[in-house]
Every structure is written in C-alpha cells, then in structure tokens.
Amino acid sequence: MAILAAGALIGGAIMLSDGSSESWQADNVSIINGTQIVEVTAKGKYAPRHTSAQANMPTVLKVKTMGTYDCTTALSVPAIAYNTMLPPTGETRIELPPQKPGSTVRGVCAMGMYNFEVQFN
C-alpha cells in the first residue's frame, strides 16, 4: 500500500511539475474591449514560457510580480526595444503593436537565463 501511495505522489508531482514542457498555453490570454491581454508572471522564471495569441490586434503584455527580487525583474522585449526594471510586486503593462501572423515576441531577463515568448497566429 505504501509503495502505491509513493508512486501516486511521485507521478502526481511529475505531472504537475513545471519542468521544461514545451506545450503552448492560451489560458493566460483574454480579449477586453478589442485589446488582447497576455498575462505573464515573473518570479524565478517567466510563466508561462510559451503563449499562443491572435495576430493583427492590439495587444498588452501584462507582467505580474509578487515579491520578485531575482533577475526576472530586469525585463527586455527586443522586438519593441523595451527594457525595464519591474517592481518587486505589481503589474507592468507593455503595449505591443498588432503583430503579423507567424511572428513571435520574446521577453528575456537581463542575464539571459529566463525567457518567454508569445507566438501570434
């Protein structure tokens, strides 16, 4: 019985772990009044790392922090020549111009260790 319980716990941890899964997520995208909002959190990493969004519409990248004091606070979005220091706690809204289908906008920390991307379809 203990072996089954341990196996279930380990299996569940593996399934729930963030790992290096390359799956595309869209549950962090919403459209409000004709503007697409893409939410990303920054704390020890950027999450989610991959997002699929709609092309050809105004987009706001909303980056949330909560007690963040690592290098993810130094955010760069090269596609729009954007660089900032995020607040330790709060939300930072970054306006993106409408993107063409197939384009990708990436964000990266100052050290280049952590990144995220939004692919526009």
Q: What pLDDT, in 10s, does the model give residues 20-76?
A: 333 344 589 999 999 999 999 999 999 999 999 999 999 999 999 999 999 999 999
Q: pTM score, two decimals? A: 0.77
Contacts 24+ apart (CB under 8 A), 81-88: 86/42
Q: By the 8 A CB rule, do 105 and 80 touch? A: yes
CATH class in words for 21-120: mainly beta
